[in-house]
């Protein structure tokens, strides 16, 4: 699991506020560090969740960082005050990106017009503040591309987090110079086979790794974990699977992904 001969790992998506992880932060961080995951990103998916993510980052400086954003599921809560609050949060050094924002036409927990408006406004804010963006897209590729394309040339780094789409969608994102976040979905023999085929197409300098904990436990971990709740400590297994799919040495992949993550969030090694 842990290997001092390889670069550490950076988990770019952890939902520390989700009920299976809540109140277990110390244990989760200790497990992660033992497994060579020395940096983690706490996702902010609502105003309340962004404030909570900030608190996690404040409690674990140089280990946990945070985002501030409104997820498409919560787009119905987005209003004029939301941008003011996100702008204020973005001024904090622990907040290293905006998001998670985007479109989700699979569950439609918020009306689609409100999803579009919230996504558009958050990309405008990212342009204004020149901050990286963590983005979510599910079953909304065309609408997502239409909005993102308007701003991409003015934005710094953007990542399509938890990418699970088609090969053509991947090529579309690469054409827009997006980073791509790969999760344990690639370890799922039922749903992830297409990712095994597509992941070699991601440029070395655009690949990021994530668990999206507590979701998407890698299904091919052996022995099978007793808990279905994923944790950052499992990121090494995703790295191994991605490296094998790319026919790439694990050590090289880990070094590339770690350096990509630091560069994406404008971080230097060992400092906030």
Q: What is the pLDDT of residues 31-56, one digit of tens each?
A: 999 999 999 999 999 999 999 999 99
Q: What is the pLDDT of residue 272?
A: 45
* Residue 228 phi, psi dihedral angles, 5° rounding: -90, 0
Question: Closest Cα partner for 165 from 149, 183, 146, 189?
Answer: 183
Q: What is the three-class DSSP state of 239? A: helix
Q: What is the pLDDT of residue 84?
A: 97
- The pTM score is 0.96
Across the chain, how many H-helices and E-strands are there?
Answer: 9, 8
Q: How far apart are CA 232 and CA 33, in angstroms?
A: 9
Q: Which residues pair with 9 in a beta bridge?
A: 37
Interval 188-214: pLDDT, tens? 888 889 999 999 999 999 999 999 999
**104 — alpha (psi -120 to 50), left (phi > 0) or beta?**
beta
Query: What b/e string do you get for 85-117 counting C-beta neighbours within 10 Å, with b at 16 or more?
Result: ebeebbeeebbbbbbbbbbbbeeeebeeeebbe
Cβ(68)–Cβ(84) below 8 Å: no
CATH homologous superfamily of 9-264 equals: Metal-dependent hydrolases (3.20.20.140)
Q: What is the pLDDT of residue 269?
A: 60
Q: What is the pLDDT of residue 142?
A: 98
Domain ranges for the chain: 9-264
- In the Cβ-directed half-sphere of 222, how many Cα atoms lie within 13 Å? 2
Residue stretches of the chain with pLDDT short of 70: 1-4, 269-272
Question: Closest Cα partner for 74 from 155, 23, 17, 131?
Answer: 17
Contacts of 72 (CB under 8 A, 6+ apart): 101, 102, 103, 104, 109, 110, 115, 118, 119, 136
């Amino acid at each position: 699991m842990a290997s001092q001969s390889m670069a550490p790992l950076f988990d770019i998506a952890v939902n520390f506020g989700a009920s299976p992880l809540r109140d277990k932060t110390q244990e989760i961080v200790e497990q992660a560090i033992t497994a060579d995951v020395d940096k983690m990103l706490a996702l902010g998916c609502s105003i309340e969740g962004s404030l909570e993510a900030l608190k996690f980052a404040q409690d674990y400086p140089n280990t946990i960082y945070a985002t501030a954003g409104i997820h498409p599921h919560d787009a119905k809560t987005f209003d004029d005050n939301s941008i003011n609050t996100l702008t204020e949060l973005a001024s904090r050094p622990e907040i290293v990106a905006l998001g998670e924002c985007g479109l989700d036409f699979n569950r439609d927990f918020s009306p689609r017009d409100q999803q579009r408006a919230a996504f558009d406004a958050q990309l405008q804010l990212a342009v204004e503040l020149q901050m990286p963006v963590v983005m979510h897209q599910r079953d909304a590729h065309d609408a997502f591309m239409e909005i993102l394309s308007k701003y991409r040339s003015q934005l710094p780094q953007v990542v399509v987090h938890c990418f699970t789409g088609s090969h053509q969608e991947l090529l579309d994102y690469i054409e827009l110079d997006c980073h791509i976040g790969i999760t344990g979905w690639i370890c799922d023999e039922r749903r992830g086979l297409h990712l095994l085929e597509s992941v070699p197409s991601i440029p070395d300098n655009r690949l990021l790794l994530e668990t999206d904990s507590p979701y998407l436990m890698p299904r091919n971990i052996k022995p099978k974990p007793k808990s279905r709740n994923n944790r950052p400590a499992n990121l090494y297994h995703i790295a191994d699977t991605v490296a094998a799919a790319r026919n790439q040495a694990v050590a090289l992949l880990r070094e590339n992904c770690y350096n990509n993550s630091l560069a994406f969030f404008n971080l230097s090694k060992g400092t906030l």
